[in-house]
Structure 1
């Protein structure tokens, strides 16, 4: 495979073009190395990253959560996740989010990959972990209603990929990376 070294485009101007309580959209006027100019829009970087964990119990079950997703206007099945708070490491955030969302901490976290949801529009990264050696501990979370915890046999994990409620790309990626890691 031939790798072409590219020169980053010059940013001519950045401006916030829309803002809500949660999001800001930023317009970028760019000039590429060949002289072509374009305007791109993206979510303004927040500087906050996130974590997602694939918890595996000692009985070889995956622990998932079912929670309401405003984007799809339905309940979705996925792995526990959340933002990294200021001053936290991804590992600390992972354990805290597990305690808040499923009532378990983890003595063993295996980082798998840092992913970006849609690099053309977002800059925030999410670190994916396998969480093992779980122990019972509950912290109060910020969800508006209690989350449903779903136990799924690890031997049937691939079936999740065709489950109608399991559609979040980051959860699918985390599951596939987990299955690959467990095979090695």
Structure 2
């Protein structure tokens, strides 16, 4: 397997944060997406950003910006497809996706996903009620599936798990202590909590 391309998913509407680019909000003096970029670049050879609208607003990141090719804010799967298309042109066989609003994801995310030996894999954490909590925007995806994914999106499919589950997606479990590494910033209260986590865990 050729080293996967890292894809930061930032194509959402940020409605719970009041709109705008929540990834550009500062956390400990660094933007959320800036923190995500650094964390991901340490794990892969190349990183791109999936985002819609004016790409110039992300100039400071120094990353290629790829918009969705499916119109109408079709959700994270549209971002996955955009990443697959870019990776196909770069000659990569897989991508690894992460969310732009989740700054503390595991530093061994890519290593563990690849070690699963799976073609399609998703991060999960232990959950006392459900057994496992899935994190659908953190996964390993085969570029060869892009034609199939495009067709599904054009047919109206939007939920990640509805696409991954029938395809034998492997779950890779990560520890959720001393903090949840997949904590994501959706609201101003979440941002305040993230600031506290940065201070408490020296993140």
TM-score normalised over the length of structure 1 = 0.26
Higher helix share: 2
Larger radius of gyration: 1
TM-score normalised over the length of structure 2 = 0.24
Higher strand share: 1
Structure with the greater relative contact order (CA < 8 A, sep ≥ 6): 1 or 2? 2
